[in-house]
Amino acid sequence: MERPTAADQLQKIKTYEKGYVAMLLLRTGMELGLFAAINAHGNGVSVPELAEELGLHEPYLYVWCTTAYHYELLDCAPGDRFILQAGLEEVLVQRDSPRNYEGNIKLTMDCMSGDMAAFAGYMRSGEAFTYQERDASFSEAVAESTRNLYAAFKNVIVPRVEGMQEDMERGAEFLEMGCGNGTLMIRLAELYPRCSFRGVDVDRFGIERARRAIGEKELEGRVRVEFLGGEEFPHESLFDYVIMVVVLHEVRPEAREQLAANSYRALKKGGRLVNVDFPYPAAISEFRQIDFERGIFDQYREMIMGHHLQTRPEQEALITGAGFGDLKRFSVGKGMFDVLVAVKGGA
């Protein structure tokens, strides 16, 4: 590999700077409803028309639109009429699309950027600002960023876990550890009417929202939630599946063995644990591999929350230590998710 020059390094840093400005531009566009408004005009919309429609200052809007054009978020039709670039309607407008990224942008810019700006102080003190110490707005932002995970679960994960699709069509009993606001369970309950779901979480704001959503959907007979920590876990041999989706890395390291033990105890004999999380490198040689990109990103932005991503060997040691066997692992997307499936044996 050729040794990089100072000019190369400067260009790299400028690229990072450009990305930061792009994120700020995206967040402004989302807050003002610009992407949805532009997308609604199939033949494009001029800056004066858009300014009048949304009640915005035209000179500022012109700068925003032309900068978004520079960033290849907008295209421009004859007559300087701006159009959302192809494919971005799924990413920035269609809320139910599995590719919609609005929630992630909001979480990063509205919540996590404030944390990261204060990292120097935390790195000196070693203190943490945990999930449980945060307010309802943070819980809601996290829920918003994960609202479409059900699509990946249904379309990618369920078909790749042997027999899971059939179990869900026949009717299976699920326990979701770390259910948050219940979106995953509620959507799966709507898709699989023979299944029943119970969710537990220590996020009281999420549990409150889950209960409201379950009532609004009239799913009380098949979906229930509990504000529950691992130390008082009452469930034993009740469930066909225990699922954890982007949860294990958020559990305090000293509480993970209890979580794994509770998952094992909650399952029927032959029941399965399905753990979905970000993969994290086990050696420095892996830190530049694309498979670990999301985990590296997530570990950095969440480090002061007390979150610690496990490596694959660490996950497997935890799961087998709780008594699980027949471990199987597969990846979803380049550097996105690892799925670890394990079976409860014994009497």
Task: Please tell me the distance from the alpha carbon of residue 210 to that of residue 252, in angstroms, as a whole number.
Answer: 23
pLDDT at 347: 44
Q: What is the pLDDT of residues 23-52, one digit of tens each?
A: 999 999 999 999 999 999 989 999 999 999
What beta strand segments (E) does the chain contain? 74-77, 81-84, 173-177, 196-201, 223-227, 239-245, 267-277, 325-332, 337-343
pLDDT at 231: 63
Q: pTM of this prediction?
A: 0.90
Domain edges within the chain: 6-92, 131-343
Residues of the chain with pLDDT under 70: 230-231, 335, 346-347
- The structure tokens listed for 341 are 């499936």
pLDDT at 338: 93
pLDDT at 346: 53
The CATH architecture annotation of domain 131-343 reads: 3-Layer(aba) Sandwich (3.40)
- Single out the residue of 201, 261, 205, 198 nearest to residue 228, CA to CA: 201
- Return the number of other C-beta atoms located less than 10 Å from residue 271's C-beta: 23
Report the CATH fold assignment for 6-92: Arc Repressor Mutant, subunit A (1.10.10)
pLDDT at 147: 86
